[in-house]
Structure 1
Amino acid sequence: MTEDAIQHFSAKLRFETDPSDVHAAFERGERFVLIDSRAAAAWSHGRVAGAVHLPTAEIEERAPGSIPLDMPVVVYCWGPGCNGSTRAALAFSRLGYEVREMIGGYEYWAREGLPTVDDSGPIERSVDPLTAPPGFACAC
């Protein structure tokens, strides 16, 4: 039982990441591309600053010509109630990319007060105290 749990949680950490870890990776200058897999209307509404728009339905056709195969990929969609990022991660995996899914998606990125933009520029959002309480560090 313990070995099964170790394998399960190790696999989750290998294939999943979260908004604060992605933000930290951006800050460190790590090499990866962050893909917003939502439709055009959602992208226009707001997105992670620095993300690339590539809707899930277009990944198979467009990714090979625009993202080098050796470029690590992180995908996101709306939030935890949406499996769009899982579908996008599967599409990239089928093409041979190293891919991770950003759990929480755009919703939790925005709720943590991380940089977001829309078609007009930066969006100022207050931090949701349930996702990033002031004065507390998760230290996880």
Structure 2
Amino acid sequence: MDQIAFYQAKLAFEIDSWDVAEQLRTGQPLLLIDGRSSTAFAAETIPGALNLPHRTISVDTTASLPKDRLLVAFCDGIGCNGSTRTALKLAQLGFAVKELQGGLDWWKRDGYATTARDGEALNCGCEG
């Protein structure tokens, strides 16, 4: 693989927080998938995300997910490979999926809001 092909592939399979926020803001169809444990999800996640722990992904647990929209997998951040595991399993099941670069950590560093299970905003939600 040459450099150009490498970077084209990287952009085809990864997305950053700004691009996710812009797609959500403009109404482009995507679905955030939090691949962490239900405990981590309950403590803090990205608003609108669904919790699908990567260890539980199967044909049965993904039966209700839409096949006609982009799924964006994420976990805690660069020290966690849960988003990679989530993205791989979803891709193996035929879903269009990208991995959120930097996960929840970079989402927050970029100033976007997070939420707890009860819907309480945890961060400012400033757009960067």
Task: Establish whether TM, by shorter chain, passes 0.5.
Answer: yes
For 1:88, the aligned partner's letter is T
Show the counterpart of 1:70: 68
Q: Structure 1 CA distance, aligned partners of 2:95 and 2:123?
A: 33
From the CA coordinates, give the structure whose radius of gyration is larger. Answer: 1
How far is the alpha carbon of 1:68 from its aligned partner?
A: 2.1
Pick from 22, 31, 39 the counterpart of residue 24 of structure 1: 22
For 1:98, the aligned partner's letter is A
Q: Where does structure 1 differ by over 6 angstroms across 4 or more consecutive aligned residues?
A: none
More helix by share: 1
How far is the alpha carbon of 1:126 from its aligned partner?
A: 8.5
Change in 2 beyond 3 A, CA 1:119/1:81: same
TM-score (norm 2): 0.90
Q: Structure 1 CA distance, aligned partners of 2:65 and 2:43?
A: 24
SS in 2 for 1:109: helix
Show the counterpart of 1:117: 115
Q: Structure 1 CA distance, aligned partners of 2:90 and 2:6?
A: 21
Show the counterpart of 1:10: 8
Residues 1-140 of structure 1: pairs in structure 2 closer than 5 A: 4-60=2-58, 61-63=60-62, 65-120=63-118, 121-125=120-124
How far is the alpha carbon of 1:119 from its aligned partner?
A: 2.7
SS in 2 for 1:122: coil
How far is the alpha carbon of 1:27 from its aligned partner?
A: 0.3
How far is the alpha carbon of 1:40 from its aligned partner?
A: 1.1
For 1:50, the aligned partner's letter is G
Give aligned pairs, total.
125
SS in 2 for 1:107: helix
Task: Identify unmatched segments of 5+ residues in structure 1.
Answer: 133-140
Q: Structure 1 CA distance, aligned partners of 2:117 and 2:34?
A: 14
Q: Structure 2 CA distance, aligned partners of 1:111 and 1:126?
A: 11
8 Å Cα contact 1:110/1:125 also seen in 2: no
How far is the alpha carbon of 1:69 from its aligned partner?
A: 2.0
Q: Report sequence identity in percent.
A: 37
Task: Identify unmatched segments of 5+ residues in structure 2.
Answer: none
